[in-house]
A and B are shown apart, each in its own frame.
Chain A
Amino acid sequence: MTRLETAGGMIGRSVPRVEDAGLLTGRGRYIDDLPVRRDTAHLAVLRSPHGHAEIRAIDMTAARALPGVFAVLTGEDVARLTRSMTVGVKANVECWPIARDRVRYVGEPVALVVAENRYVAEDALDLIEVVYERLIAIVDPEKALAADAPVLHPSLGTNLINERSFRYGDPETAISTAAHRVSIRIAYPRNSCTPIETYGVIAEYDPGEDAYDVTANFQGPFSIHAVISRALNVPGNRMRLRTPPDSGGSFGIKQGVFPYVILAAVAARVAGRPVKWIEDRLEHLTASVSATNRVTTLEAAVAADGRITALSWDQLEDCGAHLRAPEPATLYRMHGNMTGAYAIENVAIRNRVVLTNKTPTGLNRGFGGPQVYFALERLVHKIADNLGLDRLAVIRRNLVPADAFPYRTATGGLLDSGDYQTAIDRACQEGGLEALRLRRDQARAEGRLYGIGYAAVVEPSVSNMGYITTVLTPDERAKAGPKNGAQSVATVAIDPLGSVTVKVASVPQGQGHRTVLAQVVAERLGLPLEAVRVNTELDTARDAWSIASGNYASRFAAAVAGAAALAADRIRDRLAAIAASQLNVTADRIDFRAGKLFDRDNPDNAISFGRVAAASHWAPGTLPDGTGQTIRETVFWTPEQLEAPTAADGINSSLCHGFIFDICGVEIDRATGQVRIDRYVTMHDCGRILHPGMVDGQVRGGFAQAVGAALYEEYAYGGDGSFLTGTLADYLIPTVMETPEPLILHHETPSPFTPLGAKGVGEGNCMSTPVCIANAVADALGVEDIRLPLSPSRVSEWLYGEERPPSKPQDSIPVATGASGERLLTGSGSAEVVATRESVWTMLLDPNTLKAIIPGAHEVRKVSDTHFRAEVTLGIGPVKGRYRADIRLSDMLAPEAVTLSGGTEGALGSGRGTGRVTLTETAIGTRIDYRYEAAIGGKVASVGGRLLDGAARVVIGQFFQALARHAGGGGPPSAAAGFTQRLSSLFRRRR
């Protein structure tokens, strides 16, 4: 394979990025910045407030009648114009981008509104009436497997959508004859790398040609283009997909925009005009895409010296409500490297994929790595502890030997290059492990909680497009035909003035591809950096692309930059031939430097690059015989090592395998349970480094996201399927204050399989850092069952046991999560009014009085003496919405006590609750005591969770203030008066 010489070259230098000037001055062109046709309308999506429910009716009359609304669509309207999205396993199940008869996760699209602007579109959403019949939601993947568990997809008959078992070597014998057997069970949570720019789509339909034209901040893989075209029922050439020049981060997440490409395309077709959709943050957190949560049991057979002779994996993967392409890829991306950095010959794997009432999963930085390595590296830690060995010694004992590369793993991966032993030695030495150990010993001697963790990880990059077919049985694969490879593509073009343009299908989201490609091609052609311009926008109707195109699996440096180098080489060879004929030397003597082509042995014999380069345009007849044009060269490159799965299920799932070794020192605050990262060392072997500044940027960025995943971030669900982290104040992304600076080290062993020797680097810390921090926390606390995120409350539980309820009753009981998993609010209070018990009692049962005193009530109707219906508008935290309440009275003891029970339902959420009101005569009138208990779900639980308890108290307080006012004033405020009374007396004075 061709390799670049580095001397005097452009590659390997941290040149300033060509992207930056525009981005720093506000001239970036992200999807929401692009010009659109003047008649473009805006799309808004009505989403399910329930985790699991049947849709009984949808009334769109009022929404359709709203001025400015062009179209309202339901799932059935979408289904009439589309087909179910392709599902990646053999299963009798459909996968629609919008709910039809049933909703299966909070945030699932239920209806679409197209209107003149986003404001009006959202107004119309509020006017759509949906009648749901709630079903029991299932959020726990293990409970989803129970025989009596509610089934999400009746056609499937089970929630277990796929199961496969694999066997490599002889794991049974290795395990049964092992000196030791050590196992660990892991429940890895859901999270997401959440780009700061959300999804965006601009879609148009041409009825004359039955063709769609869509721009979306999609990131690839473009295999998804086939899924979109099939779903829209058009050939691929009638589904033009373009990407904007800039994208505000993705980290895998923007692969998941594709269902919205389908929805926006159909909406544009029905509305008869272009449609634009920009996702909001609540939509993004609730329903864009999530990494998978996974329950793993991993067992190792271990020799007395700590050598691992077999691994047995049992992985239960939770892909949420639908198996969306390319899932269950998260489970199979690591298949070739399930033995990590270790030489382990016997492996058994059972993979099960389960569906639950949560957001469908998809790509997320690290893709499958965090889940696998959390189990593997926690287990290695535990093996050392159980056998009484040094943890680092157990890691070293099992490493793939440095002279074994390329090394074929038990499961079929081909580890391209590495020297793990040297990388670890250097990390320990240059990372100051000895000093760190002393620091730990000293901290412990002072009674502080300090721990050190390690993680050794193989970081796969450049995915084999065939790895996902490992989920099929060998027979199914034989029928479907082999899938393999990973086409990357680059075009180098020269215009009539001799300047160079590079075009790739890499779809960057901030990684600086344009800069690196300019470096690579400028070096090849002996040009200054600024002489090469790079375009990374992708247009499937005009550009060279294939299914592997896009920005994922850390494929840029290894594959795309390599393809660009190959394309530049082809042009370079032809330019050399042309120059040779003009300079009267042989082509092998032509060198390229400083914008000139010259005779290496006589540098004065030179000709300008521009003149040679332009010859193909202006004087093609003068080119030497047999020299092709130099106008444009497109190279598709797919590595031969990426073969289809073998009949024995061996799969080289990735082309390159970088190596990471991390060391982490943490201190845990005994009082608060807070985990503080005291020191972090991360050693990387990503092959040859093309741009050191960008490589370190990738490492730091991945590390920061991994710190978030380890300590703060979780897509949390209530047991009823309600989504609890719908704002960035609930889903906690680390700020600068929570992000320590890691020491980054590099040990380069170039990949023999890639044109430039580079490997991927962007995802590694997302795989290594969560488990490294967990290992350090385990070391500090001596706790085995470490669960993420390591929030202070969770750590405190390990320190002090579960929090007990307070021994004496409190005024307000804090928000608790009920047995059902819903947000449970409880509270009590009292108010005193100057009125007799009888008159208060009458007021409480009179709809007109209730309308006047219920905060935000528009209407209160008495259905019977014990049954009321009300329409109210309530604002809780950031969300204000209209609710329908249905209230029944029971246990009535006139005029002393009554129990109110019922439910509310609105676009923003739902609630159920009971309250007991008692009236007592006092010296000045009547004291009203109340206690309530309410459970709340839906959007209001997602965004207002932190505020609900306070908001409920305020609203209920307002109710009694209004009652007091209505009753005609109270007694003089006394020193003992409660807060509510003082407030109500204030109101009275102001009147």
Chain B
Amino acid sequence: MPRMNAAQRHGVDFTLNGRKVRAEAENRMLLSDLLRHEIGLTGTHVGCEHGVCGACTVQIDGKPARACLTLAQQVRGSDVRTVEALAPAPAELSPLQAAFRRHHGLQCGFCTPGILMSLDTLLRERPEAGREDIREHLSGHLCRCTGYATIVEAALAAAEEQRKEETPNA
């Protein structure tokens, strides 16, 4: 790793939502700030800046990570995915997003992007995930509006739908 000067901005090359990007950041800049204020993808939200609320969760190389606890420089060469990458097309929703809408899994929507990124990882890695797996993954997120029940229902519905699609007429 090259030695970096704290007083200067340094380039950060990484893949963001499938596209190569090059941004500049001071050593101390958080990934959440880089995404939101340097690159302009404001879908990743910042709720606590100490890793508890989970609103800023993104995927780094396929794993959920708190963007507020990650320095921008740490994602050099990584593959970063944010909530903006979930929908298959601009006017469409992914099955998980659609289930959230159907089940009223959101109110103010501020915690939602982080929750979607965690659940997206879970459903990709463990398609058989049931209620308890979903609850466990949601326990890293704080939602103040919904009381969680509709989020769990939405996730269960999305998991069910995904299983049906993967085993058509099995």
Contact = CB atoms under 8 A, between A and B. Distances in A.
B47 interface: yes
Contact of B101 (A21, A29, A195, A739): A21
B36 A195 contact: no
Interface size bracket, A side:
35 or more
A30 B112 CA distance: 13
A700 B149 contact: yes
B17 to A, nearest CB: 10
Interface string B96-131: 010011101011111111001000000000000000
Nearest to A196: B47
B68 to A, nearest CB: 10
Interface string B57-93: 0000000000000000000000000111011000001
Interface string A731-744: 00101110101000
A23 B106 contact: yes
B50 A878 contact: yes
A301 B155 CA distance: 52
A29 B45 CA distance: 11
A481 interface: no
Contact of A735 (B45, B48, B142, B149): B142
Nearest to A23: B109
Contact of B108 (A246, A727, A729): A246
A374 B144 CA distance: 22
A195 B108 contact: yes
Nearest to B87: A25
A19 B41 CA distance: 19
A25 B150 contact: no
A701 to B, nearest CB: 5
Contacts of B44: 26
B143 interface: yes
Interface in A229-268: 246-249, 251
B28 interface: yes
Contacts of A510: 106-110, 145
A705 B104 contact: no
A28 interface: yes
Contacts, number: 168
Contacts of A30: 42, 45, 110
A739 B147 contact: yes
B139 A26 contact: no
Contacts of B110: 28, 30, 195-197, 248-249, 510
A76 interface: no
B15 to A, nearest CB: 17
B108 A249 contact: yes
Contacts of A737: 135, 139
Given A194-B144, A735-B139, A701 B86 contact: no
Which of B49, B104, B116 has the most CB atoms of chain A within a 10 A radius of its CB? B104
A619 to B, nearest CB: 36
A412 B81 CA distance: 58
A198 interface: yes
Interface residues of B, number: 53
A728 B109 contact: no
Contacts of A119: 26, 28-29
A949 interface: no
Contact of A728 (B45, B53, B101): B53
Interface string A1-39: 000000000000010110111011111111011000000
A197 B108 contact: yes
A193 interface: yes
A622 to B, nearest CB: 38
B53 A739 contact: no
Given A23-B106, A248-B45, A878-B50, A196 B143 contact: yes
B52 A700 contact: no
B147 A198 contact: no
Nearest to A19: B109
A853 interface: no
A701 B83 contact: no
Contacts of B16: none
A23 B48 contact: no
Contacts of A512: 107
Contact of B100 (A24, A251, A736): A24
A974 to B, nearest CB: 40
B104 A23 contact: no
Contacts of B52: 727-729
B32 to A, nearest CB: 11
B144 A251 contact: yes
B12 interface: no
Contacts of B31: none
A741 B112 CA distance: 20
Contact of B109 (A24, A694, A733): A24
A703 interface: yes
Given A32-B36, A196-B55, A248-B110, A24 B116 contact: yes
Contact of B42 (A33, A696, A943): A33
A193 B144 contact: yes
B84 A728 contact: no
B118 to A, nearest CB: 11
Nearest to A730: B52
A705 B45 contact: no
B73 to A, nearest CB: 14
A697 B86 CA distance: 25
B108 A26 contact: no
A33 B41 CA distance: 9
Given A26-B83, A32-B46, A247-B108, A700 B146 contact: yes
A401 interface: no
A280 interface: yes
B151 interface: yes
A26 B113 contact: yes
A17 B107 CA distance: 9
Contacts of A14: 104
Given A17-B101, A281-B50, A697-B104, A28 B109 contact: yes
Nearest to A728: B52
B156 interface: no
Nearest to A693: B104
Given A195-B144, A196-B53, A25 B107 contact: no
Contacts of A330: none
Contact of A701 (B28, B82, B138, B144): B144
Nearest to A726: B50
Contact of B144 (A19, A27, A705, A878): A705
B94 to A, nearest CB: 9
A736 B107 contact: no
A24 B90 CA distance: 12
Nearest to A34: B42
Nearest to B28: A119
A17 B139 CA distance: 25
Contacts of B101: 16-17, 20-21, 24
B34 interface: no
A196 B45 CA distance: 9
A509 interface: yes
A363 interface: no
A288 to B, nearest CB: 13
A838 B141 CA distance: 57
A511 interface: yes
Contacts of B41: 26
B104 A196 contact: no
B43 A511 contact: no
B163 to A, nearest CB: 21
Contact of B138 (A33, A281, A696, A735): A735
Given A24-B86, A33-B42, 20 more contacts: A20-B100, A24-B83, A25-B84, A26-B84, A28-B110, A29-B42, A30-B45, A194-B144, A195-B110, A196-B142, A197-B110, A249-B145, A251-B144, A281-B53, A704-B144, A727-B48, A729-B52, A735-B142, A736-B141, A741-B147
Top 10 nearest A-B pairs (CB, nearest first) are A26-B43, A510-B108, A248-B110, A23-B109, A700-B147, A704-B147, A33-B42, A510-B107, A728-B52, A26-B83
10 contacts: A20-B109, A24-B97, A24-B106, A30-B42, A30-B110, A196-B108, A701-B146, A728-B52, A736-B138, A736-B139
